[in-house]
């Protein structure tokens, strides 16, 4: 079974993340995970695994921290 091309990209501002993992729990493709790096506030932030994002925006709308998550929709290639 061939993998689907990415339709979106998640950008996470690690210093804004409080590590609540709400975004991880709502991600339908499970492309977000807690990192082992502490941010400047002392929280383990969430990171994008690098592929598989559909650009649905569930993580963006669930995150309680404004500015922590940005979703970039990728244009379809011809």
Residue 52 lies in a domain: yes
Q: How confident is the model at residue 5 (pLDDT cuts 50, 70, 90)?
A: confident
* Rounded-to-integer distance, Cα 21 and Cα 71, Å: 17
Q: Which two tokens stand for residue 72?
A: 């970039």
9: CB partners within 8 A, 6+ apart: 48, 53, 55, 71, 72, 74
Is the pLDDT at 9 greater than 50? The verdict is yes
Q: Residue 26's beta-bridge partner residues?
A: none
CATH number at residue 29: 3.30.70.20
Is the residue at 33 inside a domain? Answer: yes
Number of domains in the chain: 1
- pLDDT at site 75: 79
How much is the pTM? 0.84
Query: Residue 2's pLDDT band (boundaries 50, 70, 90)?
Result: very low
Within-domain flag for 77: no
78: in domain = no
Rounded CA-CA distance 1/56 in Å is: 22
**pLDDT digits 0-9 by tens, 34-60:** 999 999 999 999 999 988 999 999 999
């Amino acid at each position: 079974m061939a993998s689907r091309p990415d339709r979106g990209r998640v950008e996470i501002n690690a210093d804004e993340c409080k590590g609540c993992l709400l975004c991880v729990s709502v991600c339908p493709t499970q492309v977000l995970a807690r990192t082992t790096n502490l941010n400047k506030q002392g929280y383990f932030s969430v990171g994008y695994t690098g592929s598989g994002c559909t650009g649905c925006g569930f993580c963006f709308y669930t995150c309680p921290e404004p500015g922590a998550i940005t979703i970039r929709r990728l244009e379809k290639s011809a």
